[in-house]
Amino acid sequence: MSNTDAEMPAIYPPSPAVLDQAWIKDWRSYAKNANLDPVTYWEGRARELEWSRLWTTVLDDSQAPFYKWFTGARTNIVTNAIDRHLQGPRKNKLALLWESEDGQETRTFSYFSLNREVTTMANVLKALGVRKGDRVTIYLPRIPEVFFAMLACAKIGAVHSVIFAGFSADALTSRIDDSESKVVITSDGSWINGSVFPLKDIVDEAVRFSPTVENVLVVKRTGTKVHMDPLRDHWYHDLTALPIARGTCETVQVDAEDPLFILYTSGSTGKPKAVLHTHGGYMVGTYATLHDTFDIHDEDRFWCTADAGWITGHSYVVYGPLLCGATSFMYEGGPSYPHPDRWWSLIEHFGITTLYTAPTAIRSLMRFGDAWVNRHDLSSLRLLGTVGEPINPEAWRWFYEVVGGSRAPIMDTWWQTETGMFQIAGVPAMPQKPGSAGYPVFGQRAEIVDDKGNPVPDGTEGFLTLLNPWPAMMRTLYNDDQRYLDSYWNVFPGRYATGDSARRDSDGYYWVIGRTDDIIKVSGHRLGTAEIEAAVASATAVAEAAAIGLPHEIKGNAIHVYVVLNPGHEGNRTTVEEIRAHVAAHLSPIAKPDEVVFVESLPKTRSGKIMRRVLRARALGHDEGDLSTLDD
């Protein structure tokens, strides 16, 4: 993968057609105004939505960095994602379009029928005893019920915790326990490349000793035979047939600062971080950023390929599109099953106008060649987007030219689970530079600093920090205020530390380089070295392990683990496969190491910390740097 390409233009100005359609044409003065007074800017954006009581303060920074937004206000994200659309012509507009992996099933929901489904699920949850503030774990594949479940929780003021349905039982248990969920919503199974992944079995294992889970709600998807505990488990379709599921359900008006969801994400230590987002600010932030960056128009069909188990799915599959009154498309399967043109055929068939995906998916599809794309009419596409990791020039150009017909700008969006919404991203009218996410979003300021927190000159790599609070920012780490402070605010006082390195060019464009901490982005998925190491080390053969990420052509990074074996175990092919399978079963198949290397010992500091940078330098043949802290 080369990072330079002399033939490629460095900057792509918007075409007259793009400019003509764009909501925001004069983005420079728009940005200038917003940045002059971000609080007033955000207040204006909030006024575009419905509130049952207005705020007394837009931004309360008296307890900073525990910022509060729109204090005193009451609303519910569902009031704006669904209810307000039922009052006008959008009532009959498609809110959700869905297609099954095998292509045999299409399900469509207008805002009217989405409301009916969400109301039904909300009534069922209430009947199961779920009350405002209770936590509900959602462990579902990409099916419409994941929309219903998330929105039903929000509607009654419950707090959802969606777990990506590729995590294993151990990972699920720790997240259910940490959130003290009362109910788990799952399905009998999920379809993955034509076979069934046994979600219900995994839930059974995960909740067996749960002190909090009272009920498990099971959506029938694959028809697989599953065990149903008569006291705990309920088929969703059985409950929806009962009178309890019928009738209307009030969208409870909550405080703007009431919690909407918890989302677990990887940190530098083994324990995942429970990122907490709230109704009011998250609603305003996801609405405004999706509207501006993807220039949402009523006739759009928006497809964000992320899974609802990640923040991208929360913000830009479920909430953002509905808040904008858009049509969101969801596809159950992956990019290349049963054929490498599956996605392209969906775009043609459904007339998708906007495709938002990850560089790793683009690289994996690019590998199959242009012919798979070219046999489809993709002329409906008017905008493209990427997220999750930096995009390399080759993938950018292929996406732009072959997929977008050199017609659709690529919106590179930099953000994080913690930020809830885009932080560095353009709008279509802004000239795009391949590989750069552009400028901070309206109302945001970013700075690159050295390790002491002093800004560095343009062109120099440093730590990416954010200066202004923004409405969709996480409020804390659930039950762990101290970790919130230490991870994000105590690193560089007065700044939000992103954990990424970046540089800014002389035009003010930001170029994100990658993580500076012990987080590895593998195929756009975020994994912590410590959690991978813990999973590896729990295999019987393993005494201790170190995990690092090394560059990979398609995945961006690949996981390499260095393993010290227990006495009596041999470092052979079988052990490698055992370790890989063990990680898949105990953490997730997405965390399976690409390489397992057996070593006699691991490089450590005298205080016993693994020096991963030494392993990385050795693997890449680089200079090992300062080894003065290395123990022997």
Tell me the closest approach of the beta carbon of residue 442 to ligand WT7, in angstroms: 17
SS (H, E, C) 243-262: HHHCCCCCCCCEECCCEEEE
CB of 344 to ligand WT7, least distance (A): 23
Nearer to ligand WT7, 464 or 583 (CB): 464
User: How many residues line the site for ligand WT7 (CB under 6 A)?
Assistant: 21
State both tokens at 148.
């219903």
Looking from the CA of 347 toward its CB, the CA atoms found within 13 Å total 28
In this structure, are strands 383-387 and 410-413 parallel, antiparallel, or unpaired? parallel
Judged by CB under 6 A, does residue 515 bind ligand WT7?
yes
List the interface residues with ligand WT7, window 228-267 (CB under 6 A): 265
- List 258, 500, 518, 533, residue binding ligand WT7 (CB under 6 A): 500
What is the dihedral angle through the alpha carbons of 60, 64, 65, 70, rounded to the nearest 10 degrees?
Answer: 0
Q: In this structure, what are the phi and psi dihedrals at residue 90, rounded to the nearest 5 degrees?
A: -75, -10
The arrangement of strands across the sheet holding 94-99 comes to 106-110, 94-99, 327-331, 301-304, 354-357, 383-387, 410-413
- How far apart are CB 519 and ligand WT7 at their closest, in Å? 7
User: How open is the CA angle 126-132-136, to the nearest 5 degrees?
Assistant: 70
Looking at 160, 397, 433, 526, which residue binds ligand WT7 (CB under 6 A)? Answer: 526
Structure-token match 């307000």, residue found: 84
Q: Which residue is it, tokens 């005193």?
A: 72
Instruction: Rank residues 198 and 270 by Cβ distance to ligand WT7 and give the closer one.
Output: 270
Binding of residue 330 to ligand WT7 (CB under 6 A): no
Distance CA 26, CA 23 (A): 9
Residues 555-614 that bind ligand WT7 (CB under 6 A): none
- Residue 208, exposed/middle/buried by CB under 10 A (0-12, 13-18, 19+)? exposed
Q: What is the DSSP letter of 400?
A: I
In sequence order, the 6+-apart residues with CB closer than 8 A to the CB of 37 are none
Out of 390, 428, 438, 462, the residue judged to bind ligand WT7 by CB under 6 A: 390
Of 335, 499, 528, 556, which lies in the binding site for ligand WT7, with binding defined by CB under 6 A? 499
Q: What is the dihedral of CA 259, 264, 266, 270, to 10 degrees?
A: 110
Q: How far is the CB of 449 from ligand WT7 (least distance, A)?
A: 16
Tell me, residue by residue from 405 to 444, as one string, x for binding to ligand WT7 by CB under 6 A and - for no binding.
-------xxxxxx-------------------x-------
Measure the CA–CA gap between 90 and 94, rounded to whole angstroms: 8
Provide φ and ψ at 209, rounded to 5°. -110, 20
Site for ligand WT7 in 262-301 (CB under 6 A): 265
> Near ligand WT7 by CB under 6 A, which window of 10-18, 243-251, 385-393, 595-603?
385-393
Instruction: Please choose, out of 94-102, 130-138, 169-177, 386-394, the segment that lies near ligand WT7 by the rule CB under 6 A.
Output: 386-394
Find the shortest distance in angstroms from Cβ 412 to ligand WT7. Answer: 5
Q: Does 65 bind ligand WT7 (CB under 6 A)?
A: no
* Shortest distance in whole angstroms from residue 91 CB to ligand WT7: 31
In the chain, the largest separation of any two C-alpha atoms, in whole Å, equals 72
Which of residues 318, 474, 512, 615 is near ligand WT7 by CB under 6 A? 512
Region near ligand WT7 per CB under 6 A, out of 124-132, 372-380, 471-479, 493-501: 493-501
User: Among the candidate windows 213-221, 244-252, 347-355, 384-392, which touches ligand WT7 by CB under 6 A?
Assistant: 384-392
Binding mask 307-326 for ligand WT7 (x = CB under 6 A): ----xx--------------
> Nearer to ligand WT7 by C-beta: 330 or 387?
387
Q: How far is CA 309 from CA 137, 313, 523, 596, in A?
A: 11, 6, 15, 28
Nearer to ligand WT7, 388 or 428 (CB): 388
The residues of the shown chain that bind ligand WT7, judged by CB under 6 A, are: 265, 311-312, 387-390, 412-417, 437, 498-500, 512, 515, 521, 526
